Structure 1
């Protein structure tokens, strides 16, 4: 009895340590696209991730003597998934080898003759954000703007787009954002409607995100569009998420409906009441291959049989195409009305 109790304690300690290391590695991979490649910074960060994965691999190998065979396979699969995810992320970030001509700098344009997207038309608003200069009119908000609330949590850069801390807002990407971002982050949002779809999906300017992170979002609808690499979802509650991605990892979420096109099996950990469905009608992105939206793996369900933590969203329970089209076309700021159509109060 003493020996069995000791083994159970060892399994529990190993589980907690594994989860902590796994979460740390996943966060490092998610932030890799936002690290500048200059002076070897990104390469150094990649080496750190590889070292951490190697250490975790050794820990799993050393635990063979007290882990059951099934548990050991689950942990091994989890480490292999991390390694694959890193490989896919670094492949997306690798510089193109072929020669490309540089575009000529634009000719000087003065004043109101500059196009609306020209950075020379941007002026500073009183709240510190950038707006466009108009003919005698007050500056307007930047393209990445909610239907309500302030502009406290939005930033754009050549490498990433980040929206953080918004409440009761309709948030959309501007049409000219299609080639400005390689990573997306949505953090700490509540009662929001987020539409990142058009610039990342439209064939005329198809430029998917390299990766996407959703963290701490509640009572919101997120239409994330097309992501070439991994999507990390952590701490969502009572949300609806739509995304096309290569890989989707879901952690510590409750009562979230996912409408997916995903190339590999979705992975969940620490979730309750999450449901899955294929992409809604009319929101397909033309991705090729098999959609594995319902081949979900629960890494914390170590028993045989169906995990009680997730299920398939029945056809009669899925949001209809006309509701999606109406909701995504409503940018007037009626957040409560849009959320109500999705059953989110």
Structure 2
């Protein structure tokens, strides 16, 4: 009887153990099923979010692109003032569209990113071609310089009103002639000065200057710099845009509404800008707040119409850097201890 009781007890234990193992396997399978369902749910939600992000990007990008194309189409057959206004708005909106694309690269697939970049490039080409067709540029010509000083800039003949000015191409050596023009060209190792009376509301062009110090007092309409090497250029408040192209190892100080910089290396910019600075094909460019001062600076700010309380000097868009969330390696902020405070010749 004892033997039979022991056998019965062992059978009971074995049965209990088998049942426990079965129950454990069932629990594991059930847990695995729950985890699988949860993973599928998370994957579905993630896919849904990605699709929603792309749908938002695609609809916003295409809607803005079509709006810019409509502005460009409106330039055909329009008067010069209307064409200039459309082109100015199209230029600003195209820059904003580029920024929107740059900020969206994290969730865009490579195919979608390349497609959007190609569309943007086509739009930029169309903008350039429309500007050249609607607002053909007049060639810039310098007046002869006297031995002791430059003559004051003379009014250009048959110039349209300021409202008809078109936004110039970055680094262009031509202007649209919407205001009086002046500047310096093909000089080296000189101190070059323009007074407020000479530059006020005029387009200023500085080109092919080497190791020069330039002081522009007053409020120009636009400022164009091209082929600048080893120079120090200080300018009063520019009421619209500053365009820089092929500037090397130089120091610039200027307040403006917009800054466009191309093909520039190892250059320091002391900036007051009310929109955002834009660089393209640049490296070694550094920025700090505008710090030059002269007796009539406040008056010139008033003439320019710039907002002195709004300075986006450190907000720089690099059109060659699309990695959102990662700083561009092509520009930096000048450390406070290294910033210029004295600008005397």
TM-score of the superposition, structure 2-length normalised?
A: 0.50
Q: Which of 334, 337, 340 matches 1:313?
A: 334
- Partners of 2:230 and 2:248 within 8 A in 1: yes
The aligned residue for residue 184 of structure 2 is 163
User: Given the alignment of the two structures, is residue 295 of structure 1 paired with residue 340 of structure 2, yes or no?
Assistant: no
Distance 1:220 1:288, change over 3 A: same
How many Å separate the matches in 1 of 2:262 and 2:210?
Answer: 18
User: Given the alignment of the two structures, is residue 142 of structure 1 paired with residue 150 of structure 2, yes or no?
Assistant: yes
How many Å separate the matches in 2 of 1:174 and 1:195?
Answer: 8
- Partners of 1:143 and 1:174 within 8 A in 2: no
* Structure with greater proportional helix content: 2
**Ranges in structure 1 where 5+ consecutive residues have no aligned partner:** 1-39, 91-127, 132-138, 145-155, 201-207, 328-345
Q: Which of 230, 239, 247 matches 1:228?
A: 239
Q: Which of 249, 264, 267 matches 2:275?
A: 264
How many Å separate the matches in 2 of 1:311 and 1:130?
Answer: 38
Give, in angstroms, the shift of residue 279 of structure 1.
1.1
Q: Spell out, residue by residue over 1:125-149, the C-alpha distance to the aligned partner (whole angstroms, 9 max, x if none).
A: xxx9465xxxxxxx744357xxxxx
Q: Which of 205, 224, 230 matches 1:213?
A: 224
Distance 1:311 1:71, change over 3 A: farther
How many Å separate the matches in 2 of 1:232 and 1:48?
Answer: 20
Q: Spell out, residue by residue over 1:280-331, the C-alpha distance to the aligned partner (whole angstroms, 9 max, x if none).
A: 164665543320000111111011210000000001111123xx1x22xxxx
The aligned residue for residue 113 of structure 2 is 68
Distance 1:277 1:298, change over 3 A: same
**Ranges in structure 2 where 5+ consecutive residues have no aligned partner:** 1-77, 99-107, 136-142, 153-176, 302-306
Q: Spell out, residue by residue over 1:55-103, the C-alpha distance to the aligned partner (whole angstroms, 9 max, x if none).
A: x99xx9xxx9944189659949x96xx89xx9xxx9xxxxxxxxxxxxx
TM-score of the superposition, structure 1-length normalised?
A: 0.50
Greater Rg over alpha carbons, structure? 2
- Partners of 1:71 and 1:302 within 8 A in 2: no
The aligned residue for residue 278 of structure 1 is 289
How many Å separate the matches in 1 of 2:199 and 2:225?
Answer: 19
Q: Residue 320 of structure 2: SS of its match in structure 1?
A: coil
The aligned residue for residue 172 of structure 1 is 193
Give, in angstroms, the shift of residue 41 of structure 1.
9.0
Give, in angstroms, the shift of residue 165 of structure 1.
1.0
Distance 1:75 1:314, change over 3 A: farther
Superposed CA RMSD in Å reads 4.4
The aligned residue for residue 111 of structure 1 is none
Q: How many residue pairs end up in the alignment? A: 209
- Partners of 1:70 and 1:302 within 8 A in 2: no
How many Å separate the matches in 2 of 1:281 and 1:130?
Answer: 27
**Which structure 1 residue ranges, 4+ long, deviate > 2 Å from structure 2?**
40-50, 64-67, 69-76, 128-131, 139-144, 281-289
Distance 1:141 1:230, change over 3 A: closer
